[in-house]
Amino acid sequence: MRLPERVLVTEVAPRDGLQNEATHLTTAQKAELIARLAAAGLRDIEATSFVHPRWIPQLADAEDLLPMLSHPAGVRYTVLIPNLRGYERAAPLGPDEVTLVCSASESHNRANLNRSTAESLAGLADVAARARADGVPLRGAISTAFWCPFEGRVPTERVVEVARAYAGMGAAEVSLADTLGTADPWHVVTLVPLIREATGLPVSLHLHDTAGMALACVVAALEVGVDHFDAALGGLGGCPYAPGAAGNLATEDLVFMLHRMGVETGVDEDRLLDAARFVRDAVGHPLHSRRLALADVDTLPPGA
């Protein structure tokens, strides 16, 4: 089995995790959450999204949040940008990185971003040009890279097309998102190398855990050399425009497995669990987190 020495975990709870919550956290609570995530050793944090507040009111405070964040050494804050208007709001605040987003499937892109993928990509090319001029690194995220809630299995060519567009825009990495959470390990090992080949870029994975296969997909992804995963504290999340999608792969479940496999992440598990308890109190409902459940009932054997 092929294992990297170290995996980079991008924490997406402040963005993907909170965007679907009925309870809107205050900006101060979000800043506190992000500070706790950084204190737990996470070095790459998707802090918020510059989508129109009408669509995602949970993240309407993006402009207020970014200036509240402290900048510990080595911590990078990325923000999700769907279009030029979003970039224009974000740019003056100096994000460390910009994550572009577009779906591979037409109908999910329309549901999620209210335009065709071609229109999205044209707009993102403008964003990318501006970001390059501003010296801001780019990551290209492909939603519904595996399954679309409306169209079923997404043809590989569609994913390749969006990935190539990102490569042409100067993205440093392509993130394949299993928005619905039904990707299987074989789908992962077949798709990832194709995207890498088509773009020449490193590929990271953004997994949801709807079918309970997210960790199995991580193992498969490690096999094909992936060493960068998104995850959300407490397994928060779910796309408002992907009916039935469950939360993200929980950061603490991912980190627990990787550490047990001897793979470093730089994350302190105890601090991470403290942060998970904080966010559980803030959102006011139980989390989809195996690791937190185990910690709460103290059932791990000695040394585990």
Give the whole-angstrom CA distance, residue 290 versus residue 234: 9
257 binds its own copies (CB under 8 A): yes
61/209 with CB nearer its own copies: 209
Per-residue x/- marks for its own copies, 159-188, CB under 8 A? ---------------------x-x-xxxx-
Find the binding residues for its own copies in span 201-230 (CB under 8 A). 210-213, 215-216, 218-220, 223-224
Is residue 194 within the footprint of its own copies (CB under 8 A)?
no
Say how many residues make up the chain. Answer: 304
Candidates 135, 200, 262, 284; binder of its own copies (CB under 8 A) is 262
| Least distance in angstroms from the C-beta of 63 to its own copies | 35
Residues 125-164 that bind its own copies (CB under 8 A): 147-153
Strands (DSSP E) contained in 130-251 are: 138-143, 147-148, 152-153, 173-178, 203-207, 228-231
| Phi/psi at 254 (5° precision) | -65, -50
Rounded (10°) angle between helices 251-260 and 214-223: 50
Which position among 168, 243, 264, 286 is part of the footprint of its own copies (CB under 8 A)?
243
Residue with tokens 């994350």: 267
- Owner of token pair 């101060």: 28
- Long-range contacts of 72-75, Cβ-Cβ distance < 8 Å, separation of 24 or more: 72/38, 72/39, 74/43, 75/38, 75/42, 75/43, 75/44, 75/45
Report the interface residues with its own copies, using CB under 8 A: 1, 3, 147-153, 180, 182, 184-187, 189, 210-213, 215-216, 218-220, 223-224, 243-245, 253, 256-257, 260-262, 290-291, 294, 297-304
Active-site annotation, residues = 239
